[in-house]
Amino acid sequence: MFQTFDVTARPEQGPPRLALLRAELEAEGLDGFLVPRADAHQGEYVSDHDARLAWLSGFTGSAGFCAALRDVAGVFIDGRYRTQVKAQVAAAFTPVPWPEIQLADWLVEQLPQGGRVGYDPWLHTVAEIERSSAALDGTGIEMVRSDNLVDRIWSDQPPVPMQPVKPHPIEFAGETAASKCARLAADLRKAGHRAAAITLPDSIMWLLNIRGSDIPRNPVAHGFALLHDDGRVELFMAAAKLKDLGDHLGEAVTVAEPDAFLVRLAELEGPVRLDKSTAPQRLADVLGARAAYGAEPCALPKARKNAAEIKGAAEAHLRDGAAMVDLLCWLDAQAPGSVSEIDVVTRLEDCRRRDNALRDISFDTIAGTGPNGAIMHYRVSEETDSRLEAGQMLVLDSGGQYLDGTTDITRTIGIGAVGDEECAAFTRVLQGMIAMSRLRWPQGLAGQHIEAIGRQPLWLAGQDFNHGLGHGVGAYLSVHEGPQRLSRISDVPLEPGMILSNEPGYYREGAFGIRIENLIVVEPAPALPGGDSERAMLRWRTLTFAPIDRRLIVTEMLSTDERAWIDAYHAEVAEKIGPRVGDTTRDWLRAATAPL
């Protein structure tokens, strides 16, 4: 069981904690210190032990950092968190729109006479430090390696997580760990690399067919690994976590404690591959000239799901869809004002937990009604819990971690009669989701080449949203998986087997939010009837099946093809999910999926 700690600073706690940090700056002769939302493994999610940004500032978003100087503390947040940060941080912290404003530019403005800014080299990637150092060249501002100053002042810092690791069955993995290691080792030999250092938790889990629970909602364990060019693996993970594995790891995997990782790294003959975008700067410091930079070896192979992983994901989505339909049927029977956001979250988790294959939810459920729905990554609390009132829309974003797959679904639900303006915006969001779902595209294109397809209906109305159109999703792994993305900054070509989300949205601060999300998998597109395609084409296959609220759709805004898509999708929802729910829910589902 997880032991959870209250690691988030309340607004009134932020200033005294910031004062303690500034005392450390004075003692170290530093003019600032960087506090990222990161740990030594450089995954997206951090344990309570590593939640330094939340502890210091109160900001709990999944991305961002604080640059704490002696007289100003900037909290750098992207477009997803512009509303959230205002409610979470005290006036002693200044929200900074990022990446519109880059760290180097902000530091130059705040430290015009130059200065020394400290950072923990475990918590920043090689690429981050290279980028900032290059941008600061000639400014008089120096980036300085430092001990972690937050750890010094965090007197009740939670312990390092020590949750057990379990084997991931081959029926769901679809390939043995030995086969994966041999396959990736061949790539290292081809590149002339003797070994590769791996720090990302989900990469280690995928490579060795194991799963952990060091991070709530994510089946990963913290550790480090060295993959050698002959297929051997050195795993640096606490022995206490591995007691349940038996002989699962096999003779080609040796195990040592995490403290031995840097010692072993220093002993290796090069070249040793590091991925600049994921490897902590500390590793580059140890390797020096023996570092060879290249792609993290597990990233793309993990993203290209095999047949067993895709089959598992499809099955998990059907069971998850039944849980979602049970929730939607129940919610539709509740009178406006009679239930709250917490009621919805609790009920939905209960619906999911009826499935014995469920291991956890895949992230903390987002259930935001009215103005709370405009906070993209809203997390309901006792203080913010709101009742679902007539005329509002509820944004419900949730998912499950099942042994055979990871799910992530968002539906926006109308409570009573919803206004015309909200329905028009909802329909534009739906049109964007349909446009991406129907897309065929030439092989070789990346997310940045096609992402605009899902935004065009909103753009035509002068509207947009401040998050990517979609993220990669793991196979009973992290619900956010790289490197594949539907994003204007993603240059990773989309390939068959990659699972991504398709989630356009629209958010009006202080009023309402809208998001519709299905998971989709890339597959080869067959030739069209009577066609003679000159290029290999790809398409999406939808994995998520749950009704979209027909009451919010302005049918007159839809084209004939769009109406045909939603009717066909709803017919498939009824066919696939209907047999999995009870009579009352099936009757509700039949009405909810009726043709427009």
Mean pLDDT of 54-64: 91
Write down the pLDDT at residue 16: 95
Is 408 among the domain residues? Answer: yes
Write down the pLDDT at residue 4: 61
pLDDT in tens, 475-497: 999 999 999 999 999 999 999 99
CB 189 within 8 A of CB 229: yes
Is 188 among the domain residues? Answer: yes
Question: CA 574 to CA 591: how far, in whole Å?
Answer: 10
181 shares a domain with 70: no
CB 118 within 8 A of CB 146: yes
Question: CA 479 to CA 361: how far, in whole Å?
Answer: 10
Angle in degrees, 0-180, between the axes of helices 560-577 and 420-437, rounded to the nearest 10:
80
- Which distant-in-sequence residues (6+ apart) come within 8 Å of 532 by Cβ? none
395 shares a domain with 286: no
> Could you give the maximum distance between any two Cα atoms of the chain, in Å?
75
Mean pLDDT of 465-476: 97
**Paired tokens of 507:** 């958010």
Question: CA 258 to CA 491: how far, in whole Å?
Answer: 34
Write down the pLDDT at residue 377: 87
128 shares a domain with 59: yes
Question: CA 430 to CA 439: how far, in whole Å?
Answer: 14
Of 301, 320, 348, which closes a domain? 301
pLDDT in tens, 382-409: 999 999 999 999 999 999 999 999 999 9
Is 376 among the domain residues? Answer: yes
Of 153, 186, 204, which closes a domain? 153
What is the band of 224 on the pLDDT scale with cuts at 50, 70, 90? Answer: very high
471 shares a domain with 379: yes
Is 9 among the domain residues? Answer: no
In the predicted structure, residue 247 carries a pLDDT above the cut 80: yes
Write down the pLDDT at residue 79: 83
Question: CA 246 to CA 216: how far, in whole Å?
Answer: 24
418 shares a domain with 325: yes
pLDDT in tens, 301-337: 999 999 999 999 999 999 999 999 999 999 999 999 9
User: For residue 521, which amino acid is it?
Assistant: V
Give the angle 55-63-392 at the CA atoms, nearest 5°: 95
Write down the residue that tokens 């998971």 correspond to: 519
Write down the pLDDT at residue 1: 45
In the predicted structure, residue 200 carries a pLDDT above the cut 90: yes
Using CA atoms, how far residue 488 sits from 345, 432, 453, in Å, is: 32, 15, 11
Mean pLDDT of 284-304: 97
- Which distant-in-sequence residues (6+ apart) come within 8 Å of 107 by Cβ? 32, 67, 115, 117, 136, 139, 141
- Which distant-in-sequence residues (6+ apart) come within 8 Å of 470 by Cβ? 436, 447, 451, 454, 485, 486, 487, 500, 501, 502, 503, 520
Strands (E), 237-349: 253-256, 272-274, 291-293
Q: What percent of the chain stands above pLDDT 90?
A: 92
pTM: 0.94
274 shares a domain with 341: no
Mean pLDDT of 100-129: 96
Question: CA 106 to CA 103: how far, in whole Å?
Answer: 5
Is 448 among the domain residues? Answer: yes
Mean pLDDT of 344-348: 98
**What is the pLDDT of the chain when averaged over all its residues?**
96
Question: CA 100 to CA 103: how far, in whole Å?
Answer: 10
> Domains in the chain: how many in total?
3
Write down the pLDDT at residue 531: 66
Q: What percent of the chain stands above pLDDT 70?
A: 98
What is the band of 296 on the pLDDT scale with cuts at 50, 70, 90? Answer: very high
**Paired tokens of 186:** 């061949």
Question: CA 183 to CA 176: how far, in whole Å?
Answer: 11
Is 65 among the domain residues? Answer: yes
**CATH number of the structural domain spanning residue 82:** 3.40.350.10
In the predicted structure, residue 197 carries a pLDDT above the cut 80: yes
CB 280 within 8 A of CB 121: yes
pLDDT in tens, 135-191: 999 999 999 999 999 999 999 999 999 999 999 999 999 999 999 999 999 999 999
Question: CA 224 to CA 565: how far, in whole Å?
Answer: 46
172 shares a domain with 148: no
How is 40-68 classified by DSSP, letter by letter? TT--S---GGG-HHHHHH----SS-EEEE
179 shares a domain with 62: no
Is 351 among the domain residues? Answer: yes
Question: CA 394 to CA 412: how far, in whole Å?
Answer: 5
312 shares a domain with 293: no
Is 519 among the domain residues? Answer: yes
403 shares a domain with 283: no
pLDDT in tens, 436-452: 999 999 999 999 999 99
Write down the pLDDT at residue 534: 76
Of 153, 177, 193, which closes a domain? 153
pLDDT in tens, 155-164: 999 999 999 9
Question: CA 62 to CA 560: how far, in whole Å?
Answer: 39
Question: CA 298 to CA 276: how far, in whole Å?
Answer: 14
485 shares a domain with 410: yes
Give the angle 455-456-457 at the CA atoms, nearest 5°: 100
Pairing of strands 537-542, 115-119: unpaired
Domain enclosing residue 383, as ranges: 304-592
Of 243, 202, 209, nearest to 223 by C-alpha is 202
552 shares a domain with 500: yes
